Every structure is written in C-alpha cells, then in structure tokens.
Amino acid sequence: MYLVVGLGNPEKKYFNTPHNMGFVAADGLATKLGAEFNKAECKAVTAHGKVNGVKVIIAKPVTYMNLSGEAVGELIRKYKVEKGNLIVVYDDADIPLGKLRIRAQGSAGSHNGMKNIVQHLGTEDFARVRIGIGKDTQMARIDYVLSQIPDEDKALLNPALADAADALNDFVHGVAIDQVMQKYNGK
C-alpha cells in the first residue's frame, strides 16, 4: 500500500495560492489513477485507487497546513503504511519558482506543515516532493504563500506540477525513490 499526501489548506479562498501546490499535485496523481476524492477520513479527504493490484491512498489533510501531521499520523496508523511507502508533496519557498526537489528523507526546513508531520511521525525518514514557489518579493512570506498566483507564475508552476504528478505516479508504480530523484531533480 502507498500513501501520497498533498499539503495545502482546505478553504476555497486558498485554492489558487502557492501554499496549495501539494493539493494540486495530489489532484494530478488522482486524475492519472482515475481516483476521486470522495471519502472523508482521518482529518483528510482521500481518493483510493490501485496500481498493479496495490492499494494507493491519496490524501489532502483538512486540518490546515500547520496541523497536517494529525491527518498523516492517523492515516499511517489506520492503514499500517510502511515508512518506505509514504510520500508527501508540498510547496517550498526556499526552492526557485517552478523547480522540483525530490528527496528520500530530510529535515522539514522552514515548512510548518512538514514540521508538524515530522513531529507526529517521530521521524524525517520518508520521501517528499517539494515544488519550488520561491521568488523575489517584498511581501512577508506568510502573505506571499497565501496570495493568489499571478498568471506569469502559473506559466512556470504548471510544468513543475505536471512533473510532480508524474513523479508521484512513478513512485506508486514501484519506481525506487533514487530513480525518481534522478529523473526529476534538476529539471
């Protein structure tokens, strides 16, 4: 079984913000797998699919970003997901706009949603796909990540979001995280 978690904020006003790129990538994977987000469970909305007979759960926590670990922890325990079969996708303001960074493990960095997941899981040992949203701006970071994405930024983000969905799809198809990293990092 695989668990893919996209991070974001659940209210409609946040849908077109940099902080919701994890939700967008999760939606892209769900589309690829023909799965629909139609189940509310464990403080998340989930889509269930199968890849080669293996169950795949795609989750979008409804706890708001900073409490994402509550949903992830509950889903891990409910479905007894092995740590190597968890991958989290989220925005990262420390990576240039439109770039991807995939890692097998690592720190939460400055991302509060990831800090909360690490706290709830008690480990940093899980895969992650980080979608770069960083750019020069005079706005405070919190204001920037919750602002609407301008059209010129979408032109850079859309290819990264497509690659993120493809990377997640490779992962749930059993491609080793090291191979996924080689394929998508540096694009």
CB 104 within 8 A of CB 84: no
Instruction: State the sign of the Cα–Cα–Cα–Cα dihedral 133, 139, 140, 142.
Output: negative
Query: Catalytic site residue 173?
Result: no
CB 66 within 8 A of CB 146: no
Contacts of 138 (CB under 8 A, 6+ apart): none
How far apart CA 187 and CA 181 sit, in angstroms, is 10
CB 163 within 8 A of CB 98: no
Per the residue annotation, which of 19, 111, 120, 173 is the catalytic one?
19
Closest CA to 33 of 45, 52, 19, 49: 49
How far apart CA 47 and CA 34 sit, in angstroms, is 9
Q: Specify burial of residue 140 (Cβ count, 10 A radius: 0-12, 13-18, 19+).
A: exposed
Report the catalytic residues. 19
